[in-house]
Amino acid sequence: MVKGNFTLGKVFGIRLQIHYTWFVIFVLVTYSLILYPSEFFHPLHTRIVLGILASILFFASIIAHELAHSIVAVRNQIPVQQITLFVFGGVSYITREVTRPKVEIAITIVGPLTSLAISGVFYGMHFLLWEGDQSLAANLMYCLGTANLILALFNLIPGFPLDGGRILRALIWHKTQDYYGATRITTRIGQGIAYVFIATGIVVVCVFHLWLNGLWLIFIGWFLHDAARAGYYQVLLRRCLHGIRASQITEYDCAFITPDLSLMDLIQQYVLTRGQVCFFVSEGDQVKGMVTLEQIRKVPRQRWTATAVKDIMIPEKALRTVQVQQQVSDILQMMNEKGTEYIAVKEGEKFVGVISRDNLHRFVRIQAEFGVASKNG
C-alpha cells in the first residue's frame, strides 16, 4: 500500500484506495451541512445524518467518475491497477500508456460526462423534493448537483493531468504525431494554470483578506502543479526505459547467504560493512528465497538476534523473476501491476541479481539529465 493511502477493496477487479487528503473533503462537507443556516429550524441530529449522507454520496460520485475512465480503459485492453481518491477528486492508475489519440479521448471524456450526468440526476431530485425553504433534503440534492457540476468543469481545465489536459494532449498528439512533445506542452500548460491559482489565492488573501478562500486556491494550485509534475515523470519514465534491457540496470552484487543466518549477523556482516541491500537465501547451489532491507526493517531491532533470514524471506516459488534480456519497460509494467518493489533477475535458470524500483528511478533521473534532455535539445 502506498504511504497515506487506505485500501477499501476492489470494484470490477480494480483496487480502490483513499488518500488521507480525501478526509478533508469528508469533514468539510459534513461540517458545513451540520452548520446549515439556522432559519431552516432542522434538528441537529437531522443535519448530522444528512451531512454524512451528502459526503457519502459525493464520495460515490467520485468513484463513478473514475470507474467510467477505468471501464473504458479496460475495454480498450489497457489494464487499470487502482483508483485513488484525493482531496480534489480521483486518479485511475493504468499500467501502460494509451497507444492512439482517439482511445485517450474516449477514456478521458467519459469521466466529465459521467459527472455531468450525475449532476443532472441530483438536480432532478432537487426539483422533485422541493417544498419551499423548509426542504433540507432538496437543498442537499442541489448542493450535490452543484458539486458534481464543478467537478466536471474543474476536470475539463485544459492542463495535464486533468481530463481537459489529457484531451488537449490527444488532440496535439493527433496533429503532431509526437506523444512526448504533446505531453510536455500540456504539462507546462497545467503548471501555468497551477501558478494562476496560486497567484489568485495570494491576491485574495492579501488584498481582500479572505483567508479561507485564498488558502483553498493556493492549495488547489499546489496540488495541480504537483500532479502535473508527477504525471509527466511517469511518461518520461516510460520514454527513458524504451529499448533498455534488464541486464543494463540489474544490481549484480546480491550476496548469497545461508537460511540460518540471523538478521543481526546479516546486518553486521553485509549491510553495514558492504552496503548491500538484497540477498539470495541458498543451500548449496539452490536458491531458497530472497531477503531485502524492506523486510528486515519490519522486524523489531530487539528480535534481530533471534530471527533467521529463513523466517522472513520471500520463498523461491513466490519470487517474481525476469530474464536478463527482457525489456525494462515491460518489467516496470509488471512491478506496477503486482505492486512489488523488487524483481529477481535470472540468466537461464541461474539467479544473477535484482532490479529495484529505487534503482529504476535513479536510472531515469540520470537519463533525463544527460540522455533524454540532450535529445530534446
CA 316 from centre of chain: 30
Rounded CA gap, 253 and 248, in Å?
14
Beta bridge partners of 347: 350
Return the domain boundaries, the chain.
5-156, 246-376
CA distance linking residue 231 with residue 234, whole number of Å: 5
- Reply yes or no: is the peptide bond before residue 43 cis, omega within 30 of 0: no
DSSP 135: -
Whole-angstrom Cα distance, residue 121 to residue 145? 7
SS3 sequence, 62-87? HHHHHHHHHHHHHHCCCCEEEEEEEC
Q: Name residue 291's beta-bridge partners.
A: 279
Q: Which CATH superfamily is domain 246-376 in?
A: CBS-domain (3.10.580.10)
Q: List the Cα angle 49/55/60 in 5-degree steps.
A: 125
24: Cβ contacts below 8 Å, ≥ 6 apart: 87
Q: Minimal CA–CA distance to 84: which of 156, 154, 159, 15?
A: 15
CA angle 129–135–136, rounded 5-degree value: 110
Cα 30 from Cα 53, distance rounded (Å): 8
Q: How far, in Å, CA of 94 to CA of 81, rounded?
A: 6
Percent helix, percent strand, percent coil in the chain, to nearest 5: 60, 15, 20
The answer to whether the pTM exceeds 0.75 is no
Neighbours of 358 (CB within 10 A): 12
Distance CA 47, CA 45 (A): 5
Contact between 343 and 322 under an 8 Å Cβ cutoff? The reply is yes
Give the span between the Cα atoms of 57 and 143, in whole angstroms.
11
Rg (CA), the chain: 25
Mean pLDDT by 10 residues, the chain (377 residues): 65 80 71 56 70 84 91 89 72 76 95 96 91 71 91 91 93 94 93 95 93 85 86 78 86 90 93 86 90 90 94 91 89 75 90 87 75 46
β-pairing verdict for 321-323 and 14-19: unpaired
Length of the chain as a residue count:
377
129 near 141, Cβ under 8 Å? yes
377: Cβ–Cβ under 8 A, 6 or more apart, which residues? none
